[in-house]
Amino acid sequence: MYYLGVDLGGTNIKAALVNEEGVILQEASRPTRLPRPAEAVCDDISEMCAELAAGQEVAGIGVGCPGTIDGGIVRFSNNLDWHDFAMGPYLEARTHLPVYLANDANAAALGEALAGCAKGADSAVILTLGTGVGGGVVLNGKLLTGYTGAAAEPGHMVITDDPNAPLCTCGRRGCLEALASATALIRMTREAMEAHPESRLHEVAARDGVNGRTVFDAAALGDETAKAVVEQYTHALAVGIANLINIFFPEVVGLSGGVANQGENLLAPLREAVAPMVFGDAYAEKHTRITTCQLGYRAGVIGAALLARHQA
Amino acid sequence: MYYLGVDLGGTNIKAALVNEEGVILQEASRPTRLPRPAEAVCDDISEMCAELAAGQEVAGIGVGCPGTIDGGIVRFSNNLDWHDFAMGPYLEARTHLPVYLANDANAAALGEALAGCAKGADSAVILTLGTGVGGGVVLNGKLLTGYTGAAAEPGHMVITDDPNAPLCTCGRRGCLEALASATALIRMTREAMEAHPESRLHEVAARDGVNGRTVFDAAALGDETAKAVVEQYTHALAVGIANLINIFFPEVVGLSGGVANQGENLLAPLREAVAPMVFGDAYAEKHTRITTCQLGYRAGVIGAALLARHQA
């Protein structure tokens, strides 16, 4: 039996035919072409699904969608400009298949938890360090979703009440997202460059602009300013991860997004910073594994398909 | 069918015969009489269980025990001075009943979630504002326990990286426990009294010493210093609760412990402080209910019995 996974983004619609193990058999992609009516986007999705499903036994469709999802309803999606759109019923009517929705970051987290970096683990917290800090929590193979229709938003955990802490997109100060996203890292890099004209950050940035790699590259050249930024960033991320470990004590914490591509450059100091912050770690027999995600952009379609598999 | 619930504390062993609904039919209590061997304490527990079970159909025993619990093993209990004690198997051999262990704060949280303030709710986060900040998370009727053998420790979530933040018992600074426990409130009260000899806190404290009620009583008299302490305490607690809501979006947050006895004095300003900190609250159809716990000290035995009920 197969499942269709759809990852609906503001730029592209990605879809895949996926088996029960989370292995992709066929993929497709189309531009989302916003702005246009939600129904038109869904008609494209159902066409893509029909093409991928042709001649296959498909049991259900999972869709990862940006925004707040409540059952089959997209309550609010800033990216898509959708409000209270009954996406699930609409797609079911067009495809004649059961449709399951999840927030896109949550669907990707489910993919990593079940078929990627936490495959076989009993629980995982996945954090995406991108424009924001998104993620999802998977306990015993199921996404954690809340009573209020929203899913875990670990990026909006406040980790400092410093009145000078950077403002978060949510309007508060000191959220993990405002301190540990790629956006935050880039902001910190720019601030450090301004304060330190002598730093080799300028030399690295001259090559391909300031991005999430800049400080890591300059730190590798021995630049002290860059090392300080890496340390400050790692500390904030470590506090956030330790808080989540102290709440969930998961088997795996998986990091994705651009910053996670640093691999051991990031993971080694991060693990060292997290360990003393974990409650009772010295007495624990088992310890949370902190690692990077493995599925890349495919986590979204795989996770969406596995959502359908587990709910169908 | 009935269940036995045991709440093992450093001072007393409490036990009760409980029905499937979480209603107590009979209770018993004995002093723990520490220090003595773990086996001797368990012999008392099994005697109490035998007395309560006499003539009844009992399906299992649940035990709430301070410390880190891993299956039937008490890995480490500071209060009891137990290390890697196989309490479950020992009690099963004596009582000939299945025995289920949980951390005591977790057992009490389960009691409140299933039979107290969150009865009928799909999810609850229970926080105990006492000497420390303990608690538990109950999702779909089950306690959240982690891979590492530990359960949720929301008290050890860091909410500020202020280097002058008070030191927590765990060795870190800025934990919720160090800012929102009754101990923290009493420390803040004493500091405010020292800084403000004119405050009516002195007058209130002269009656029955400084405790978790002192600032609330003085604030009710209109004392500005006391009001400022209440506001500072409420803010820290609100940040911790909002973080937990943003992670779990639970149906209920229940507060227990001495400070929670303030009821609406605490809850009204707390709800007001939490609301703007909840991610996407403006778009949500449903909102987390913040309330006080209802079962008092009986939450422990009821929760332990219901643990047995749900696992037996």
Contact B250 A145 (CB under 8 A): no
Chain A closest-CA separation from residue B17 CA (Å): 31
Facing residue for B146 by CB, picked from A149, A156, A249: A249
Looking at residues B163-183, what average pLDDT do you find? Answer: 92
pLDDT for residue B152 is more than 80: yes
Residue corresponding to tokens 């189309």: A30
CA B238/CA A153 separation, integer angstroms: 17
Chain B residue numbers with beta carbons less than 8 Å from the beta carbon of A152 are 246-249
**Nearest Cα to A309, choosing from A28, A64, A61, A122?**
A61
Spell out the per-residue pLDDT of chain A, length 312, in tens. Answer: 999 999 999 999 999 999 999 999 999 999 999 999 999 999 999 999 999 999 999 999 999 999 888 889 998 888 899 999 999 999 999 999 999 999 999 999 999 999 999 999 999 999 999 989 988 999 999 999 888 667 788 999 999 988 899 999 888 999 999 999 999 999 999 999 999 999 999 999 999 899 999 999 999 999 999 999 999 999 999 999 999 999 999 999 999 998 999 999 999 999 999 999 998 877 777 899 999 999 999 999 999 999 999 987
Helices A224-248 and B224-248 pack at an angle, to 10 degrees, of: 80
Facing residue for B159 by CB, picked from A139, A158, A247: A158
Look up residue B252 and give its two tokens. 């209920």
- pTM score: 0.92
pLDDT for residue B281 is more than 80: no
pLDDT for residue B138 is more than 70: yes
3-state SS record for B74-86: EEEECCCCEEEEC
Interface with chain A: mutation pick from B83, B153, B176, B247, highest number of A CBs within 10 Å: B247
pLDDT value at residue A147: 85
Facing residue for A156 by CB, picked from B139, B150, B279: B279
CA B265/CA B216 separation, integer angstroms: 8
Amino acid A27 reads E
Q: How does residue B161 score in pLDDT terms, banded at 50, 70 and 90?
A: confident
Facing residue for B251 by CB, picked from A147, A162, A284: A147
Interface with chain A: mutation pick from B127, B161, B173, B291, highest number of A CBs within 10 Å: B161
Which neighbouring-strand residues pair with A99? A61
pLDDT value at residue A216: 96
Determine contact, residues A80/A68, Cβ cutoff 8 Å: no
Chain B residue numbers with beta carbons less than 8 Å from the beta carbon of A168 are none
pLDDT value at residue A276: 93
pLDDT value at residue B148: 67
Cβ burial A136-170 (10 Å sphere, 16+ → b, else e): bbbbeebbbbbbbbbbbbbbbbbbbbeeebbebeb
Residue corresponding to tokens 């500005």: B224
pLDDT value at residue A285: 75
Determine contact, residues A193/A201, Cβ cutoff 8 Å: yes
CA B253/CA B241 separation, integer angstroms: 8
User: What's the pLDDT tens digit per position in B211-227?
Assistant: 999 999 999 999 999 99
Looking at residues B66-83, what average pLDDT do you find? Answer: 89
Chain A closest-CA separation from residue B213 CA (Å): 25
Instruction: Read off the DSSP letter of residue B288.
Output: P
pLDDT value at residue B284: 74
Q: Evaluate the omega torsion of the peptide bond into residue A35 and state whether it is cis, within 30 degrees of 0.
A: yes
Q: Would you call B107 helix, strand, or coil by DSSP?
A: helix
Cα nearest neighbour of A288 on chain B: B148
